[in-house]
Amino acid sequence: MTLMKRILVVLLLVVVVAAGTLYWLGTRDDASTGPAVAAADGAAQIERGRYLALAGNCMACHTSRGGKAFAGGTPVPTPFGTVYGPNITPDAETGIGAWTADDFWQALHNGKSKDGTLLYPAFPYTEYTRVTRSDSDALYAYLRSISPVRQANRPPEMAFPYDQRMLLAAWRALYFKPGVQEADPGQSVQWNRGRYLVEGLGHCAACHTPRNSLGATRSGDALAGGVIPVLDWYAPPLTNDMQTGMGRWSAQDIATLLKTGIAAHSTVSGPMAEVVLGSTQHLTEDDALAIGVYLKSLPATPPASDARAAAPAPAAMELGGKLYSQQCAQCHQAHGKGSGTAWPALAGNPTVTAPSPVNAIRMVLDGGYAPATAANPRPHGMPPFGQVLNDNDIAMLVTYIRNSWGNEAGGVSALEVKRARASSTLN
């Protein structure tokens, strides 16, 4: 055997060993919490599971528009293709009627289906792995109690090579390690509860943490904000930076936003409005405040963006100010502080001061409403201006609000508006 052949054999062995190691790491199980334990009060466990399903916003992905609850079919777009939420009603053939509590736990905790198939991380098992076994069993009990729906699951439509599930083993080896979140004994019960909801069941990182080119959240930028792939909305930082994050908010401000969709510093819109409508408004006051307490403990790190805001041109500020006086000041006031809870403040508003201007641009283009919550059943709305103002006008208007009243978020170009208009609901 020649030297070159020997080298090739060694390299092949290295590749085989590396591939085997990655496959083992990516398919390993963690069942350290043991089997399910029967609940002493079945009715209480089911009710607990119902609350957890709301807190985890399960219906968002498992109930299609106009479809039966939890019967699946909701498209979940990703940069790699589209995954469809599966049927999780107790139908024996098309749902999870044949699943055991252990099977359900395996899906949440290990990201595997009943037959061992590796699940795409569009299902946020990367966060759900932190959920306790008792909460997993309560969710399972609740889902077993709802009406079964016979509706076949739609297979994912992934581009090659992402349709090759075996490659998920390598992805998991790099980016996923199963493990229930342990309480921090140095923190309060309230803080630990908030962290559990934020990092586990609420899976906030799925939107508020930027992702790398392979779709994994960047652990070094946890909750530092980022553009939600495909949807073209920006999830603002949940850290405590004074300009772009939650630095000016109190824990109660955060709880109020989660419960009502409105708060002193902002009003939810876009995907977050759907989260409040379907999930967080149903949180108990204690849980909503616990989330606020935990988020307020995060450091004042800057947003996950390498781009520095360019100073706005004086001409843009002048014209933007005129447009603001004509179109916006009646509701948001000349000082940008809004009008109570009816029209939100623009001064210090994270939607306005975010590193990406896309949310502010889309609100000007499309308008919209805060979610109709139990605490705010008839929210005030904002009219769309996309048919009234051209791209250049909107660029200068958004530039003005991003750089007035203490805001220092940089200028906006007409090209950015054009890109946002391309995905506008009114286009």
Residue numbers in the known binding site for heme c are 58, 61-62, 204, 207-208, 328, 331-332
Buried b (16+ CB within 10 A) or exposed e, 401-410: bbbbbebebb
Rounded to whole angstroms, the Cα distance separating 223 from 75 reads: 25
DSSP-derived pairing of the beta strands 266-267 and 262-263: antiparallel
Do 218 and 304 form a contact (C-beta atoms < 8 A)? yes
What is the rounded distance in angstroms from the CA atom of residue 199 to the CA atom of residue 194? 8
Say how far apart CA 67 and CA 56 lie, in whole Å.
19
What would you measure as the largest C-alpha separation in the chain, in angstroms? 85
> In sequence order, what DSSP letters do the residues of 371-425 get, joined into one string?
--BTTBSS--EE---TTTS-HHHHHHHHHHHTTSTT-------HHHHHHHHHT-T
* Residue 426: half-sphere exposure toward Cβ, Cα within 13 Å: 15
Query: 257 with 268: CB under 8 angstroms?
Result: yes
Q: Residues marked as binding?
A: 58, 61-62, 204, 207-208, 328, 331-332
End-to-end CA distance of the chain: 67
Phi, psi of 227 (to 5 degrees): -70, 130
* Residue appearing with tokens 């595997």: 112
Question: Position of tokens 């989330």?
Answer: 291
- Residue 75, strand partner residues: 84
- Between the alpha carbon of residue 124 and those of residues 76, 158, 199, 332, the distances in Å are 12, 17, 11, 37
**How far is the C-alpha of 141 from the C-alpha of 150, rounded, in Å?**
19
For residue 401, how many C-alpha atoms fall within 13 Å in the half-sphere facing its CB?
Answer: 34
